[in-house]
Structure 1
């Protein structure tokens, strides 16, 4: 009995010491902070009543203008939210060597698809980033543009079918799913060399799996939020991000595609081909004792992880950008008409009126429209960087310790009225060259910045632009009796998403 009481006392003592050590960190550092709750830190309500962007807004408003950063706790994680744009530039670019890693969840032992470029750290990340960069050169983008334009024609045909069927519902079309089917087909072709047929069949296998990645959770919302904010602890407990059947689907898809191409000598000049080439080069380098061998060569699991993140990042972010863009164009018919006129003007000077990589580059107003969409609706609420060694914050006496998270609140910066007056107004003129020049470079971060910015940003923008052009040329979008104004946003998940889809009235031009 005495032993049991003593053991309980020891456990409680250790728990109290842990609590004091963690939750007094910012106070001991002399950093202004928001008082945390046990276990939750400053994350109370996450995933149910509040989204990350809303919690961030509370912290941002509390410390902006009073300190270059404020202290908070994402569950047990000590987190510094930066509110000063100059310090953001310091962290993301000038002092990048201190903040190379994102500190995101990965557990390649139990969940192999989490070992992708987005979550890799240290030398593995540097090597993989270097190896994958050639996939996104101008030459590769031009080749992929041809494929995307072809899928864009099918998108227009699929929309025409939706419009015809929607006549019995006042022309209402749910556009988010249609955009996701378009980007699924694009990524399926560009990354895997596969025809997914999602535009023809909403229940095609690749579309179903893509939908399930974001709708089927392995754990509850609060556990998911814990994994996002405390990845190393989640890895210690051998947690997984994905349901096993989704992991098995992507592993087998990559395995079968690689085996078929090697056996039949097929080359398609796509992402899988690049991975096959990288595996061969890496295995050869490992034999000669040269370079980083990336865990005994580029394994099938590593190949599948890179293809997986290409698919997930490529189809979800671009489809959301397209649907938010169409929503804003429906609410701003004058902007929509100006964009349509630019598209017709540019393509009217092209033989056959066919969209191409070069003609797309001439559409400057389209570029502004997409930029303003990503300003108002950035898909990531914030960027995360992890301090990998002691870092003295410039112009202060404060030293951040190894393992401290740094959060850059993208959504809140994009909606700061001191940076973007009337931030809820959709105004593409914000991205006219002179206005961009006058703003701080860190005031716009939909793709991050510095060496760890989004590797596929050009691909994502091209894909979204081609989708928008393919639709605006053929259809007019307007607000309907089912359009939410303003949109009701989901509290679940990490990415920005509407709760109930996006319904618009769509008519042929």
Structure 2
């Protein structure tokens, strides 16, 4: 009799689990929505342990695109929805934004205050912070910060002249990362990082920790985004402790020093201090969080964009020469690499945007439903709290919008071609009210870095160049798996 009771105790939870999983995995079938068949326990992401998010998303997109404007997925046992139709994407991101105002990025203000930055926060907190920060990213502020960018570019150029000699194979990502670290360190914190003299500075180490070795695996990060309330109650952090400690202490020390000595600089930190003191609504933790995301977003996304652009220009010599002539023409016209010269490099801009198309830093954009939403021209309701995926990487490589989509062709971004295309066929910065607030700064940083070195160096592939590229599996953004090597020669 005891054995029977034991068997019942063991078998009953298993049966209940099977029934629960089957019920959860029937959600999209009950809604009559096409979906990717799940496999327990990973749901529709059963190959996510071995592939980068960009590759998974593109495979799913190709599999489901012809089955309707949206399709269902499961992460573990949680249903979510992917939107593939560009008009519907525009509706979600712009027209009906009030239904989808949040990204659903995990943050924990209580236990991990640096994670509560503009990219992640939600609701009225986001609206208030966005309104206060928007004036700091105007073209006027970009012009004010430009001398700092140009100075960092000069350091990059001088170091490469010294390093390259007559020609050398270089891991290009490392050099572009040092350049953007110097730019962000100075523009955001007023600190001279000197990354070319000290590549192992605390700034650099924290940047590598955050992007190259995040605290959690890709699967755990998905879990944090899909079950945020549970994770917040458990006090789970998303940032590494050493990263949080470094930036929190750095911001507190910088703010205290500047306020004590009445120091004002033309940088992002001074703008944040001004906001903190003008209305008294921004706490020191909020200042630290905004400074951190300025660093994180500006450092990695821009260095990756420049690296990928040099990779494509190395593979396409004709495009490289055309970009170089564009740079040299603007420099000659404006008497140097000035702000006006950087804004007058049309073909280089096209190269940068074509690179963003091929290699968007965030392969899948996310939104979270604020309240129940009925999808137009359907009976399907997206329930409150459900995640909506927008597969930017896959859309950027859809031949319907970009013929020969894997081919690097900057002419796709001539003004005539852009005018022919749907607004939401190009989403490297997102779109709508939650479009990336720092896109102007990111574009300017890429222009300066690329213009500086294309003006003096030629890039070509070498035996160490990986063709085609593979992407890192656990990185929080789209990064090459094993670095990116190119041959660099002085002109």
For the aligned pair, the TM-score class normalised by the smaller chain equals: over 0.9
Pick the aligned partner of 1:268 from 250, 265, 268: 265
What residue is the counterpart of 1:402 in the other structure?
384
Residues 59 and 70, structure 1, Cα contact 8 Å, conserved in 2: no
What residue is the counterpart of 1:300 in the other structure?
284
**CA–CA distance in structure 2, aligned partners of residues 14 and 238 of structure 1:** 29
What residue is the counterpart of 1:347 in the other structure?
331
Task: For residues 354-409 of structure 1, give each alpha carbon's deviation from its aligned partner in whole angstroms, at most 9, with x where no partner exists.
Answer: 21221112111111111101111111111000111110101111111111111110
Residues 105 and 232, structure 1, Cα contact 8 Å, conserved in 2: no
What residue is the counterpart of 2:37 in the other structure?
35
Indicate the SS of the match to 1:385.
strand
What residue is the counterpart of 2:203 in the other structure?
206
What residue is the counterpart of 1:289 in the other structure?
none
For structure 1, list consecutive stretches of 5 or more residues without a partner in the other structure: 284-296
What residue is the counterpart of 2:232 in the other structure?
235
The structure-2 alpha-carbon separation of the partners of 1:304 and 1:14, relative to structure 1 and needing over 3 Å to count, comes to: farther
Residues 116 and 289, structure 2, Cα contact 8 Å, conserved in 1: yes
Q: Quick check: 113-122 or 196-205, which moved more?
A: 196-205
**CA–CA distance in structure 2, aligned partners of residues 230 and 161 of structure 1:** 51
Indicate the SS of the match to 1:65.
helix
The structure-2 alpha-carbon separation of the partners of 1:14 and 1:98, relative to structure 1 and needing over 3 Å to count, comes to: farther
Residues 176 and 303, structure 2, Cα contact 8 Å, conserved in 1: yes
What residue is the counterpart of 2:251 in the other structure?
254
**CA–CA distance in structure 2, aligned partners of residues 368 and 312 of structure 1:** 25
Pick the aligned partner of 2:451 from 446, 450, 469: 469
**CA–CA distance in structure 2, aligned partners of residues 110 and 10 of structure 1:** 38
Indicate the SS of the match to 1:315.
helix
Residues 211 and 476, structure 2, Cα contact 8 Å, conserved in 1: no
How big is the shift at 1:332?
0.8
Pick the aligned partner of 2:295 from 302, 311, 315: 311
What residue is the counterpart of 1:499 in the other structure?
481
What residue is the counterpart of 2:79 in the other structure?
78
How big is the shift at 1:103?
0.8
**CA–CA distance in structure 2, aligned partners of residues 413 and 398 of structure 1:** 23
The structure-2 alpha-carbon separation of the partners of 1:258 and 1:69, relative to structure 1 and needing over 3 Å to count, comes to: same
Residues 81 and 389, structure 2, Cα contact 8 Å, conserved in 1: yes
**CA–CA distance in structure 2, aligned partners of residues 103 and 220 of structure 1:** 18
Residues 377 and 496, structure 1, Cα contact 8 Å, conserved in 2: yes
Task: For residues 158-207 of structure 1, give each alpha carbon's deviation from its aligned partner in whole angstroms, at most 9, with x where no partner exists.
Answer: 2123213xx6xx71011101100100110011111111111222112211
Residues 389 and 401, structure 1, Cα contact 8 Å, conserved in 2: yes
The structure-2 alpha-carbon separation of the partners of 1:55 and 1:488, relative to structure 1 and needing over 3 Å to count, comes to: closer
**CA–CA distance in structure 2, aligned partners of residues 302 and 61 of structure 1:** 41
Tell me if 1:390 matches 2:372: yes
What residue is the counterpart of 1:55 in the other structure?
56
Residues 158 and 200, structure 1, Cα contact 8 Å, conserved in 2: no
How big is the shift at 1:490?
1.7
The structure-2 alpha-carbon separation of the partners of 1:141 and 1:7, relative to structure 1 and needing over 3 Å to count, comes to: farther
Residues 472 and 481, structure 2, Cα contact 8 Å, conserved in 1: yes
What residue is the counterpart of 2:93 in the other structure?
92
Indicate the SS of the match to 2:66.
coil
The structure-2 alpha-carbon separation of the partners of 1:125 and 1:8, relative to structure 1 and needing over 3 Å to count, comes to: farther
Indicate the SS of the match to 1:189.
helix
Count how many residue pairs are aligned between Structure 1 and Structure 2.
489
Residues 381 and 494, structure 1, Cα contact 8 Å, conserved in 2: no
**CA–CA distance in structure 2, aligned partners of residues 8 and 192 of structure 1:** 58
Q: Quick check: 19-28 or 359-368, which moved more?
A: 19-28
Residues 69 and 84, structure 2, Cα contact 8 Å, conserved in 1: yes
Pick the aligned partner of 1:195 from 168, 183, 192: 192
RMSD, matched Cα: 1.9
**CA–CA distance in structure 1, aligned partners of residues 277 and 16 of structure 2:** 51
Indicate the SS of the match to 1:278.
helix
**CA–CA distance in structure 2, aligned partners of residues 412 and 14 of structure 1:** 38
For structure 2, list consecutive stretches of 5 or more residues without a partner in the other structure: none
Task: For residues 443-471 of structure 1, give each alpha carbon's deviation from its aligned partner in whole angstroms, at most 9, with x where no partner exists.
Answer: 01000100000000010000011000000
**CA–CA distance in structure 1, aligned partners of residues 12 and 289 of structure 2:** 43
How big is the shift at 1:219?
3.3
What residue is the counterpart of 2:28 in the other structure?
26
